[in-house]
Amino acid sequence: MLSKKLLILFGFGWLVIGGFLALVQFMTSDAKNFENFFVIASLAIISFTMADLAPHLQRKDERIQYIRQKGAFYTSILTLFYCVVIWLLTQYGNLEISVKQAVLIMLSLVSSTLFLSWFVLSRKY
C-alpha cells in the first residue's frame, strides 16, 4: 500500500490541479466543463480518505468487512437519491447538462460517498 504521506501529497496535488483548472476556466469565462471539478474533488477526497484508511483496510478482519458492507449499502441508497435529484433538476429545466456530464457527476458522487462513508464508519466502529 502507498504510504500515508504520499497519499496526502496526492490529495494536495489534486487540489492544486483543481485550483489551476478553476483559475483557467474563470479567466477564459468558459464554465461549460464544470463536471471536471467534481472529478478532481472526488480524486482528492479518495486520496485523503485512503491516507487515513490504508492501515485499517490492510487487515482482513470482520470489522473491516462490516465497514465495507455498511459503506456500500449507504452508498447505494444515496446513489438512488442522487439519481432522483439529478433527474428532477433536469426534468423541470433547473439544470441543463449533457449525458456525459451527468455520468461524470454521478461517478464522482458515488466514489466520494463510498470513501467518505468508509471513513465515517471506521471512526464509529
Contact 37, 18 (CB under 8 A): yes
Residue pointed to by grid coordinates 485550483: 19
Q: For 32, which DSSP code?
A: S
What lies within 8 Å, CB to CB, of 14 at 6+ separation is 40, 41, 43, 44, 47
How high is the pLDDT of residue 60? 80
Convert the pLDDT of each residue in 6-49 to its tens digit. Answer: 999 999 999 999 999 888 888 887 667 778 889 999 999 999 99
What lies within 8 Å, CB to CB, of 83 at 6+ separation is 106
DSSP string, 36-96: HHHHHHHHHHHHHHHHHHHHHHHS-SHHHHHHHHHHHHHHHHHHHHHHHHHHHHHHTTS--
pTM recorded for the entire structure: 0.87
How high is the pLDDT of residue 66? 93
